[in-house]
Amino acid sequence: MINAFKKFILTLISFIALLCCYFILIFIININAKEEVNLDQYDTLIVGDSGLGASLDPKNLNSTQNICQNSEPYYITYLKLKYIIEKNIKLDTIILGFGNHNISNYNEYKLIDEFWKNRMFNTYYLLANDIINIKDLKIDYINFFLVYSRNMFLIPKSNHHKKFIGEYKELIGQSGATNYQKIINKVYFHKDYGVSELSISYLDSIVDYSKKNNITPILLSSPVPSSYYNLIPSNMKERYYKLKQRFIEDGIHVIDLTKSQHNSDFFYNEDHLNSEGSKIFTKEVKRILSKL
C-alpha cells in the first residue's frame, strides 16, 4: 500500500514537472514570437478606436493603414504606437481619432467592467507589462493574469501583434432603431461622470511621442448625428474645445468634423458611419489633408 502511494506521488510529481516544463517552453516560444512584427510599410497610420476604425477607409488614401480597434482608449493607443515604433516601423504621419468621447471618464473602466474587460484583455495581452504599470488605472488583475497565461503559456503562436493591430471595418447598412440617450449614458455618464484626466494625459503623450520621433500627428474627429451631438454634456464639449484650441496653438493639425452634416442614412448606428458614410467622410478628409 505504501509503495503504491509512493509510486502515485512520484508519478504526480513527474507529471507536474513535465507540465511545468511544457508551460515554460511554450512561454519562451511565445516571448520570442511576440518580438516579430511583420507590418507592411506605410507612410501613415490611422490609430484610435472604432470612430475612425469604421469611417476612414485607407484604400482611398495614399500609403495608409488603419489599425484602429473597437473601444481603444488613449493609454492603449500610446502603448501600441510605442510598441510599433520600437520595432523599427518607419512612419511619416499618424491620424489619431479625437472626439468628445475619447476624453470621457468611461475610458478608465475598460479594464475592469464586464462589458469591455475580457475583449480588451484578449486584444492587448502583449502590452500587459506596460498596462499594469499605468498609475491609477482600474484593472481586474486576476482576470488579466488568467487571459495573459492562456495566451502565452498554453499554445505556441506566431504573429501575436495581429491581436491588437486592428483594421478598417466596413459597416453595411444600418443596425436598427437608434437610442441616442442610451449610448450617451454609457459613454458620458458611466459611474464617474466627467472628463478623464488620464485620457488627456495620454493624448498629450501620443502627440509628444510622435513629434519626438519626427512623426506628424493629425487629430481627426469622425461625424456623429446632430441628435447625438446635442446630448453630449456641455462640460465635455467645453473641455474638448479648449483642448482643440491648445493643440492648434501648438501647431498641431486638428480636423474637427464631429458636426458634419451627414444624412442619417449614412450612419450605421448612433455614433458610427456606415460604408456609404465612410466613402463620403474619407473623400472629405482626403480633400482636407491635401491642403495641409
pLDDT of residue 20: 83
Residue 170, judged by CB atoms within 10 A of its CB (0-12, 13-18, 19+), counts as: middle
Residue 23 in any domain: the answer is no
Asked if 48 and 72 touch (Cβ cutoff 8 Å), the reply is yes
Q: What one-character DSSP code corresponds to residue 272?
A: -
Q: How far apart are CA 61 and CA 84, in angstroms?
A: 21
Residue 248 in any domain: the answer is yes
Who contacts 210 (Cβ-Cβ below 8 Å, separation ≥6)? 81, 94, 216, 217
Q: Give the long-range contacts of residues 160-163, CB within 8 A, separation 24 or more.
A: 160/30, 160/33, 160/34, 160/126, 161/34, 161/36, 161/37, 161/38, 161/39, 161/83, 161/126, 163/122, 163/123, 163/124, 163/125, 163/126
What percent of the chain stands above pLDDT 90?
66
Radius of gyration of the chain (CA): 22
Per-residue pLDDT tens listing for the chain (292 residues): 567 767 767 777 777 888 788 778 888 888 777 766 666 778 999 999 999 999 999 999 989 999 999 999 999 999 999 988 888 778 999 999 999 999 999 999 999 999 999 999 999 999 999 999 998 899 999 999 999 999 988 888 877 777 788 899 999 988 877 889 999 999 999 887 899 999 999 999 999 999 999 999 999 999 999 999 999 999 999 999 999 999 999 999 999 999 877 788 899 998 999 999 999 999 999 999 998 8
pLDDT of residue 28: 81
Evaluate the CA torsion angle 196, 169, 232, 223 in order and state its sign.
positive
CATH code, domain carrying 140: 3.40.50.1110
Q: What are phi and psi of 291, to 5 degrees?
A: -100, -5
Residue 4 in any domain: the answer is no
Residue 11 in any domain: the answer is no
Q: What one-character DSSP code corresponds to residue 254?
A: E
Residue 153's nearest CA partner among 37, 35, 34, 15 is: 34
Residue 94 in any domain: the answer is yes
List the Cα angle 176/179/182 in 5-degree steps: 135
Residue 226 in any domain: the answer is yes
Domain ranges, residue 86: 34-289
Taking every pair of C-alpha atoms in the chain, what is the biggest distance, in angstroms?
Answer: 86
- Strand order from edge to edge, sheet including 216-221: 64-66, 44-47, 93-97, 216-221, 253-256
pLDDT of residue 36: 67
Rounded to the nearest angstrom, the gap between the alpha carbon of residue 84 and the centroid of all alpha carbons in its chain is 13
Residue 26 in any domain: the answer is no
pLDDT of residue 13: 79
Q: What is the pLDDT of residues 6-59, one digit of tens each?
A: 776 777 777 788 878 877 888 888 877 776 666 677 899 999 999 999 999 999
Asked if 252 and 207 touch (Cβ cutoff 8 Å), the reply is yes
pLDDT of residue 19: 79
Q: Please, what's the b/e burial string for 213-225 (b: 16 or more CB within 10 A of its CB; e: otherwise)? A: eebebbbbbbbbb
Q: Count of domains in the chain? A: 1
